[in-house]
Amino acid sequence: MADSNIDVISQALARLGEPAITTITGSDLTDTEEKCAQLYAPTIRALLGMHDWSFASKRAALSVDGAATPINEWTYAYLLPSLQTERLGKPRAVYNSTAVHAPKFFDYEIEQKWLLTNATTIVIEYTYLVPESLWPGYFQAFVIEALAATLALPVTENASKEEWHQLKAFGTASDGGRGGLYGMARSADAMGDPTVSLLDDDDPMAAARFGGSY
């Protein structure tokens, strides 16, 4: 498994026949390092957001934001995990109970960084920004190839390399962007242990009475 963003970037660069880098932060970056710094985070966010990856699912009991007062029909404004550092997109599912096998809840509205509702308890399941060290091998392999496709033209100015790695990552046009390593990663993700059903008896969040995110 990759230990850091530098590991992932360096492996993608190796696929392009380029030397590894040592950093993407600081004021004395090489041209390649600057391009990697600009493109890495948006690319990873896009790849994580392409599918409801089981390994990227996280649950949290939300807290009411006492500083926010809804101005419409809702009673409570629950503060969502940060889009900048924790969460990708809207919640996958929302529940208004910590009971075992609680049904999904739909009587709410998302507004900026808040979930507005009249419910007195809110638990969400969402896609989170998984650290590189926790990526499963199938996702890492896909990311490296997709990142190589993203970096190919800016770093090597070689359109043929971009096309080749795009093909490896996503398959042919007939695959509709769902082939290649992406398709293999989706299949591998589906074959793994199923995500624990929210509030199952052995759900660690239920045992902890949903004291917060984990």
CB 97 within 8 A of CB 197: no
pLDDT per residue as tens digits for the range 66-113:
999 888 889 999 999 999 889 999 999 999 998 888 999 999 999 999
9 and 115 within one domain: no
83 and 182 within one domain: no
112 and 25 within one domain: no
Query: Is 212 a member of any domain?
Result: no
- Which run of H or of E encompasses 39? helix 31-48
3-class SS string, 89-131: EEEEEEECCCCCCCCCCCCEEEECCEEEECCCCCEEEEEECCC
- What tokens appear for 37 in the block? 């710094």
Handedness of CA 102, 103, 107, 110 (dihedral sign): positive
165 and 62 within one domain: no
Which pLDDT value is given to residue 100?
80
Kindly tell me if the per-residue pLDDT of 34 is higher than 80: yes
Query: Is 214 a member of any domain?
Result: no
162 and 110 within one domain: no
Of 9, 54, 11, 8, the C-alpha closest to 185 is: 54
118 and 71 within one domain: yes
81 and 44 within one domain: no
Q: Which band of pLDDT confidence, cut at 50, 70 and 90, is reported for residue 43? A: very high
Number of domains in the chain: 2
Mean pLDDT of the residues in the chain: 89
Full residue range of the structural domain in which residue 61 is found: 56-130+195-207
